[in-house]
Amino acid sequence: MTTPTKADRQTLKLEEALAEIGVSRAAFYRMRARGQAPRHLKLPNGQIRIRRADLDAWFDSCEVREAC
Protein backbone atom coordinates (compact mmCIF):
# COMPACT_ATOMS: atom_id res chain seq x y z
CA MET A 1 0.00 0.00 0.00
CA THR A 2 1.39 3.38 -0.98
CA THR A 3 0.96 6.54 1.01
CA PRO A 4 -0.80 9.32 -0.93
CA THR A 5 1.45 12.27 -1.67
CA LYS A 6 0.46 15.88 -1.08
CA ALA A 7 -0.19 16.25 -4.83
CA ASP A 8 -2.56 13.26 -4.72
CA ARG A 9 -4.55 14.91 -1.92
CA GLN A 10 -4.66 18.37 -3.52
CA THR A 11 -8.20 19.42 -4.36
CA LEU A 12 -9.49 22.20 -6.55
CA LYS A 13 -12.59 24.25 -5.96
CA LEU A 14 -15.15 23.82 -8.72
CA GLU A 15 -14.46 27.30 -10.06
CA GLU A 16 -10.72 26.55 -10.30
CA ALA A 17 -11.32 23.30 -12.17
CA LEU A 18 -13.84 24.95 -14.51
CA ALA A 19 -11.35 27.68 -15.37
CA GLU A 20 -8.69 25.08 -16.09
CA ILE A 21 -10.85 22.93 -18.38
CA GLY A 22 -12.58 25.94 -19.94
CA VAL A 23 -16.23 25.06 -19.43
CA SER A 24 -19.10 26.84 -17.72
CA ARG A 25 -20.75 25.68 -14.52
CA ALA A 26 -23.86 24.72 -16.54
CA ALA A 27 -21.78 22.65 -18.96
CA PHE A 28 -20.11 20.89 -16.01
CA TYR A 29 -23.47 19.97 -14.50
CA ARG A 30 -24.67 18.65 -17.89
CA MET A 31 -21.48 16.56 -18.17
CA ARG A 32 -22.04 15.36 -14.61
CA ALA A 33 -25.62 14.30 -15.40
CA ARG A 34 -24.34 12.30 -18.40
CA GLY A 35 -21.55 10.70 -16.34
CA GLN A 36 -18.85 12.46 -18.37
CA ALA A 37 -17.45 14.85 -15.75
CA PRO A 38 -14.24 14.21 -13.82
CA ARG A 39 -14.59 12.33 -10.55
CA HIS A 40 -15.41 14.75 -7.78
CA LEU A 41 -16.22 15.05 -4.10
CA LYS A 42 -19.36 16.61 -2.72
CA LEU A 43 -18.73 18.06 0.72
CA PRO A 44 -21.38 18.07 3.47
CA ASN A 45 -21.97 21.78 2.84
CA GLY A 46 -22.82 21.01 -0.82
CA GLN A 47 -19.60 22.37 -2.33
CA ILE A 48 -17.81 20.35 -4.97
CA ARG A 49 -14.08 19.64 -4.98
CA ILE A 50 -12.06 17.85 -7.65
CA ARG A 51 -8.84 16.07 -6.82
CA ARG A 52 -5.88 17.13 -8.96
CA ALA A 53 -5.14 13.47 -9.76
CA ASP A 54 -8.76 12.88 -10.88
CA LEU A 55 -8.74 15.96 -13.12
CA ASP A 56 -5.44 14.86 -14.70
CA ALA A 57 -6.82 11.33 -15.26
CA TRP A 58 -9.96 12.81 -16.83
CA PHE A 59 -7.81 14.90 -19.19
CA ASP A 60 -5.87 11.77 -20.17
CA SER A 61 -9.10 9.89 -20.89
CA CYS A 62 -10.20 12.67 -23.28
CA GLU A 63 -7.21 12.14 -25.54
CA VAL A 64 -8.16 11.24 -29.10
CA ARG A 65 -5.79 9.25 -31.24
CA GLU A 66 -6.11 10.11 -34.91
CA ALA A 67 -5.72 7.41 -37.56
CA CYS A 68 -3.13 8.12 -40.25
Per-residue confidence (pLDDT) for residue 7, from 0 to 100: 55
Per-residue tens of pLDDT for the chain, all 68 residues: 555 566 557 999 999 999 999 999 999 999 999 999 999 999 999 999 999 999 999 989 988 877 76
Per-residue confidence (pLDDT) for residue 46, from 0 to 100: 94
Per-residue confidence (pLDDT) for residue 43, from 0 to 100: 95
DSSP assignment of 7-46 equals HHH-EEEHHHHHHHHT--HHHHHHHHHTT-SPP-EE-TTS
Residues with Cβ within 8 Å of 8's Cβ and at least 6 positions away in sequence, in order, are 51, 52, 53
How many Å apart are CA 49 and CA 39, to the nearest integer? 9
C-alpha closest to that of 54 among 1, 3, 9, 23: 9
